[in-house]
Amino acid sequence: MSQNLLEISDFCVSYGAVQAVHQVSLSIAEGEIVAVIGPNGAGKSTLLCAIMGLLPASGQLRLDGLAMRRIQVEAMVAHGVALVPEKRELFGEMSVHDNLLLGGFSPWRRGQRDQAQRMQEVFAIFPRLQERRNQLAATLSGGERQMLAIGRALMARPRLLMLDEPSLGLAPLIVREVLQVVASLRQLGVAVLLVEQNARAALQVADRAYVLEMGALALSGQAQALLHDQRIIDTYLGMGRPATPSAPAPAG
Ligand SMILES: Nc1ncnc2c1ncn2[C@@H]1O[C@H](COP(=O)(O)OP(=O)(O)O)[C@@H](O)[C@H]1O
Ligand SMILES: [Mg+2]
């Protein structure tokens, strides 16, 4: 059993007086794909931003078993953690190639000079990006933009990639394509923390999953088991529900 790459415990995040994440504990091992599913407003993005050090949080965060005293973005990046936020934040007026190059800037600053090789690896995962390497990011389709955002994050050679709703706004066929790519990251040895409202798609590619409801963990387990959990089916998968007889019309 490999040691956990990331472990958080009793994580709490507040916006002013309002607590958006309550005492969340979760872990992810090297090379594992872990999903956090939950409805809109459950606190998924807040959780990712706090793990990345973009929002202040209370609780413990361990990387490779070592407790981080303060969670800061620079330190998380240096430890190999990358976040693809819900707003993809691509540079629309720049080419695919230049967007990718920017993703490799932080390792370049640390003296690594293997950006060309890394870009070839990204192109191997996303051949479509190679075909469109000179196209402006703003002119890409939604699915291609998502691939570019993931590719750009991969340029930094992360050990843990955190994806905030990669399926958001994409047509079902494209969702499948993007999530197949997420599954293939397993072969690169990259661990993925996948946050999704699209529970079915996320559970199909994840090893394990946590269910976040109103800022707190409601359930966790093996993704395959959750796919067959009646409560998950009823609440998140919208199938297998017995046809509900229509409610009697209110009197009067
Ligand atoms: N900047 C903010 N200021 C105040 N409240 C916020 C802010 N961002 C999110 N929230 C609130 O925190 C809760 C969790 O939001 P969020 O993390 O975006 O959920 P999710 O990503 O699961 O949809 C929601 O109730 C939301 O309204
Ligand atoms: Mg969100």
Q: What is the CATH number of the domain that holds 107?
A: 3.40.50.300
Q: Say which ligand is closest to the CA of 86.
A: 2
Domain extent, residue 144, equals: 4-237
Query: Number of folded domains in the chain?
Result: 1
Residue 246 falls within a domain, yes or no? no
**pLDDT tens-digit profile of 223-245?**
999 999 999 999 988 754 444 44
Residue 248 falls within a domain, yes or no? no
**pLDDT tens-digit profile of 45-100?**
999 999 999 999 999 999 999 999 889 999 999 899 999 998 878 999 999 999 99
Give me the pLDDT at residue 2, please: 57
**Which residue's alpha carbon is nearest to atom 26 within ligand 1?**
41
42 lines ligand 1 (CB under 6 A): yes
Residue 38 falls within a domain, yes or no? yes
Residue 71 falls within a domain, yes or no? yes
**Which residue's alpha carbon is nearest to atom 2 within ligand 1?**
15
From 11, 21, 46, give the residue whose CB has the most ligand 1 atoms within 8 Å, as the site to mutate: 46
Q: Is the entire prediction scored with pTM above 0.85?
A: yes
Residue 32 has pLDDT above 80, yes or no: yes
Give me the pLDDT at residue 240, please: 44
**pLDDT tens-digit profile of 122-146?**
999 999 999 999 999 999 999 999 9
Here the tokens at position 78 are 């240096």
pLDDT average, residue stretch 3-22: 96
Residue 243 falls within a domain, yes or no? no
Residue 112 has pLDDT above 90, yes or no: no
CA of 108 to the centre of ligand 2 (A): 30
221 lines ligand 1 (CB under 6 A): no
